[in-house]
Amino acid sequence: MGIEYDGSSFHGWQLQKSGVRTVQLMLETALSKVAAHPVRTHCAGRTDTGVHGEGQVIHFDTPSVRAMRGWLLGTNVNLPDDVNVNWVREVPESFHARFSATSRSYRYVILNRPTRSAIWRHRAVWIHQSLDVEPMQAAAEHLLGTHDFSSYRAVGCQAKSPVRTITRLQVTRQDDRVVIEVTANAFLHHMVRNIAGVLIAIGKGEQPVEWSREVLEYRDRTLGGVTAPPEGLYLVHVGYPEEYRLPIHGGGE
């Protein structure tokens, strides 16, 4: 299934023992009603509190037989308004939403203007100081390729290896918004938000362009920049081998 959600009112993706409201809890509750048995889901990438999903992908196993349209409409009618299933496909046993993925793409949205926004308050991070996109993009280029991203991951990150490969990192201005788009084979905990924090400091003129490379070379999170807030972060796409024939866009083929 392809899932989208507004992360504003969720305590992240993952089920928690406390029973707080998470995307996984809402989705599994809805799916279990359609399947008529308890369903456990597996996602492509766990998102934190406040982070949004446009292109999240999940899989689950079930002996229940339903038409694809039945899974789609039946699940959506049992979901709250801030979670939605966009597409459904049957996949072979070899498929795993997380381990079969070949890439993930995130977008980080910054509202860059003197005044805050009522509309964008949960969907972008507001920065009133002017951001210079040109040095931000120059700094981003230092992070392309395969590197040890220890300085750009959370202190408590549990990934066995800090090495990741970024294939795209682009910073653009769209009217009063600055948008950071990044694609990698996989991401470490808080990696995108930490990259955004470094690029924002450079865009403000607080640090030089070379700082992004220097932070990378430290291989020490305590010497890195500030972790940017979660509200501007979106999981926008997950890539898979063509053999699975999954939709590229959110709404269909």
Annotated binding-site residues for substrate read 106
The residue assigned the tokens 């030089």 is 208
For the question of residue 48 being annotated catalytic, the response is: yes
The span from the CA of 137 to the CA of 79, in Å, is: 39
Q: How many CB atoms lie within 10 A of CB 29?
A: 14
**165 SS3 class:** strand
The span from the CA of 170 to the CA of 15, in Å, is: 33
Numbered residues of the known binding site: 106
Q: Which residue in 48, 82, 148, 176 is the catalytic one?
A: 48
Inter-axis angle of helices 191-203 and 133-140, nearest 10? 140
Q: What are the residues whose beta carbons fall under 8 Å from the beta carbon of 113, sequence distance 6 or more?
A: 126, 128, 176
The span from the CA of 188 to the CA of 170, in Å, is: 19
Q: Are 100 and 94 in contact (CB under 8 A)?
A: yes
Q: How many CB atoms lie within 10 A of CB 72?
A: 18
Q: Which residues are catalytic?
A: 48
